[in-house]
Structure 1
Amino acid sequence: MGIVIIGGGQAGLQSADSLRTEGYAGEITIVADEPGLPYQRPPLSKDYLTPGKEALPLPLRGEAFFNDKDIKLLRGVSATAINRQARTVALADGTTLPYGQLILATGTRNRTLGCTGAGLPGIHGLRTLADAEELHAALPAARNVVVIGAGFIGLEFAAAARAHGCNTTVLEFAPRPMGRALTPVMGDWFAGAHARLGIDLRLSEGIDRFEAGEHGRVAAAVSTTGESYPADLVVVGIGVLPNDSLALEAGLQTEDGILVDARLRTSDPGILAVGDCANFPHPLAGGRIRLESVQNATDQARHAARTIMAAAGGQAEATVYADLPWFWSTQGPYRLQMAGLAHPQDDTLVLGDPAAAKFSVLCFRDGFLTAVESVNLPGDHLAARKLLAGSARLTRHEAETEGFTLKAAAKSLASAPA
């Protein structure tokens, strides 16, 4: 019995690729519930929606990859059940796949609204290629766009809608945008930045209901304050939920995702989970965390392959997963990059020029650097990743030294004797 991977996204594809790189010679089957070749999701809310740009998805791997690596890709079919005793996976088309090892890379699904009118035509989510194709076709004719949620996806789409010339309103129930992911200083800066783009960002204001027009399509969004906003196109971006129902129904431990140990194994040692669906322990989090990022998906996939190969080689324990998290978001002219895990209570230090949209926010906990947020400074971001991944710990006192730069500090670290 070979290895079955459920999920055709970044984590699933990288798991298969890394297994071959690590020397696995058995059968590998990927079960992907979308019909085409697996594609990159991040550009769907960014470059894919750029005015005048052709709607072409970016494949994760070309067709030849699957032949060259001898990987079987089952497209457009979903897994419906896992039988852990028989070591089989049931598929929606009635077939059954045996497995020696199983990797769950099931990703996430969009949270949905339950308010009045949430199902009206003209209201969209943005998760899949099909979602992005619908929005790509709808944006050129849209005039009044309302976005529900000021997270990364919501603000990326809002910037794209504004670039199309749409009147764009964002409703966010929280007091600042991207509040779960960013420091208050960076969140407040982005609130002002989107206002300068001409986006009407309504903070501490959620959605109460949607109202239809004479043709039955959405025509207005009414907020929790009672204000009514005209809307011929609505995008809902209020976060995601992990796809953990298969794991739960199979008797695996779940809690905000599929629970795995530090080596990415579930409560069944024959099953691993990676990527957005996996809830794992991480030293930077001080406990368990579930991360939604390409970096985490690919790094965990590589680690899962090593865990499987270590067990196959008779090694009792593989190394633990502790890779540095990093993220990015492009919102109009602003390229936001983050390294490490920032907490709202972190002590912060701003380097650079916020007025010129080129600056970094350094986050300190107990006096030591724990995360860096950068806008339009890729050099700072790369330097921060080197510093945070190294063994040396940067202090706030060192960062406040006259002439300090992240790039110089990273260069000094690289040249220091081991």
Structure 2
Amino acid sequence: MQIYKVGGAVRDRLLGKPVTDIDWVVVGASTEEMLAKGYRPVGADFPVFLHPKSGEEYALARTERKSGRGYGGFTFHASPEVTLEEDLIRRDLTINAMAEDDHGRLTDPYHGQRDLEARLLRHVSPAFAEDPLRVLRVARFAARYAGLGFTVAPETLELMRQLSESGELEALTAERSWKEISRALMEDQPRVFIQVLRDCGALKVLIPEIDALFGVPQPEAHHPEIDSGVHTLSVLEQAALHKQPLTVRWACLLHDLGKGLTPESQWPRHIAHEHKGLRLIKAVNERFKAPRDCQELALLVGEYHTHGHRALELKPSTLLELLQSFDVYRRPQRFEEFINACEMDARGRKGLEQRSYPQADYLRGAATAARTVAVQPLLEQGFKGPELGEALKRERLKALKAYKEAASA
């Protein structure tokens, strides 16, 4: 029985990056031996055990065989006869197919260390093409390590292209897809994730609404980068640079989907793209079963981001409607995330990344002005029910008029 550290822990140590999660593989052992040593079994599909003291996961070395469609379409075989090399060959990338024993000795049968030095994301074997989830995983790794100069090997990109064309991507569950997408969006360079998916044809299968934005022009006066798809990637890049949370990054990715519906005869203008895009945003939200907070913010940003850009020009009544739409009185954080998404949108334009965005502080001030209107005086005046709501609205409108006048002075 031999135990090896495998996968990401080995990869990141060699890259000089902090190691957080450690995966262990056990060679030459049976389920009965693991149980006898006090390991606790978990997972129904293949033998994984929890260490009796550390609680870390230890998996028996195993082989796998394609037996159906999608990520789950595999039959696993684990036995004491399965070698370390046989276990490693079923992994996705060479840089994830290295192992290390308790003396720090490296086992690297598929030249992962060489690919680390060459900054290449390369598949281990042709069996890579049997698992559609690997398309998303490789694109995510590309986003994670782009800052270190990593790129996807051409032959691996070709396999990803074949997978994208095979129909296998459609067998992925919403939960597995969202797990990879959400993790990728939180990497340092999430735009690379989208770009790699597009390069291998996966984007038009998984999120055709985003793929449709590329090649769609916008007015150069407002968008020096012109292309709507390029703009979306730039907005996502700004969200990452400014350390925005997942909700904001998801909203930034989907905010301009309506531009993909504009007839060519109307280019480069996109009249009412905010409202036209809502059904597309809703469809993408539902396709991946995105968490509720991500879904809600994406729809609100899609509908109101141009209001955010025009904040300084909005009439007090329009400003009040905007605040009401976000329920800023009970959910102030959601409005703050909207403001941040609008700012990322404004910065996601070629040459304008550093331009100030005074609309942000103006909107924050408007929300504060509306929130400071007290309910108690109105109750003391006898207002209740729907009349109280109307009175509160009138007082908030007065407060916003005063705020706008003060800001304009």
Normalization by structure 2: what TM-score?
0.30
Normalization by structure 1: what TM-score?
0.29
The structure carrying a bigger strand percent of its residues is 1
Between structure 1 and structure 2, the one with the greater Rg is 2
Bigger relative contact order (CA 8 A; separation at least 6) = 1
